Amino acid sequence: MVAPGTGYEDIRDWLSEHCGMSFPEKKKELLEHRMAKVQERFGLATLDELAVELTVGGDVDLKLAVIHAASTNHTYFFRETQGLDFYRDKILTAQLPAGGLRVWSAAASSGDEAYSLAIMATQKFGPTAFSRVSILGTDISMPAISQAEQAIYGTSHLEHVPEELLERYFTPAGMGQYRIVPEVRRMCTFRRLNLKAAPYPFTKGFHVVFCRNILYYFDRKHQYQILEQLYEATEPGGWLLTSVTEVVRDLRTRWQPVSNAVYRRPL
């Protein structure tokens, strides 16, 4: 039974146990703000009530809603250009592996990153991009995956898309929204995956892994475990690109640093 007044702590602990997410005291206000949307949706007046339903009840929809709300992070196309520039200038210009380049957007959210990578590949290879590059986007949130599959975005997602790319790779979808064109959509596949749930269910390794703006949700123990699992899921000589704000070097994983936010699995 949840003790009165411990709703925040109980929700925080549940997220840590089931998802590996870390919400220290300094993030209390953030988590409370995100849980307020879940409380409103399910008619729960307090965090204590939400904690009871989450930890004692069996409502799967509520649990998924809590996970989605906790992991929601505003994202947009062509975010953090440093990593994207490396992908364009170093990875796409190198000789591609036989069978094509396999790319994983490991915290895909609503698909903005995966489609950005697909657009860049299409710019490089034109109509043959589909046979040269395949992109998997995964996220813990099923609503985020559903949005990615729909491939429809409002202006807040598109504010960094140059006008010429907006005209070339998006079509108006009404209500001020735009949809990714089919030639880019077909390069991307989306699936739900909890990065904490190792081992990962892949039969083939990836040549490039983008894992950006997600590691700071986890404590150091889970950061290390996730990075090691990403290593195992990457082909020898493959690349890991993280956010410039996320420090990987200090965790002493097997990844070899190449430059800021760029790492490689040795051959």
As a dihedral over the C-alpha atoms of residue 105, residue 106, residue 111, residue 112, rounded to 10 degrees, the angle is -60
The pTM of this model reads 0.86
What average pLDDT does range 202-206 have in this prediction? Answer: 96
Q: What's 7-71's CATH class?
A: mainly alpha
- pLDDT per position as a tens digit, 224-256: 999 999 999 999 999 999 988 787 888 999 999
- pLDDT per position as a tens digit, 97-135: 999 999 999 999 999 999 999 999 999 999 999 999 999
pLDDT classification of 4: cutoffs 50, 70, 90: low
What average pLDDT does range 65-80 have in this prediction? Answer: 86
Domain ranges of the chain: 7-71, 81-264
| CATH superfamily label, 81-264 | Vaccinia Virus protein VP39 (3.40.50.150)
Q: CB-hemisphere CA count at 13 Å for 176?
A: 6
Residue 225 DSSP SS3: helix
pLDDT classification of 3: cutoffs 50, 70, 90: low
- pLDDT per position as a tens digit, 15-65: 988 887 888 888 899 899 999 999 999 999 999 999 999 998 878 889 888
DSSP for 241-265? EE-TTS--GGG--SPEEEETTEEE-
Evaluate whether 7-71 and 81-264 have a shared fold: no
| pLDDT of res. 257 | 95
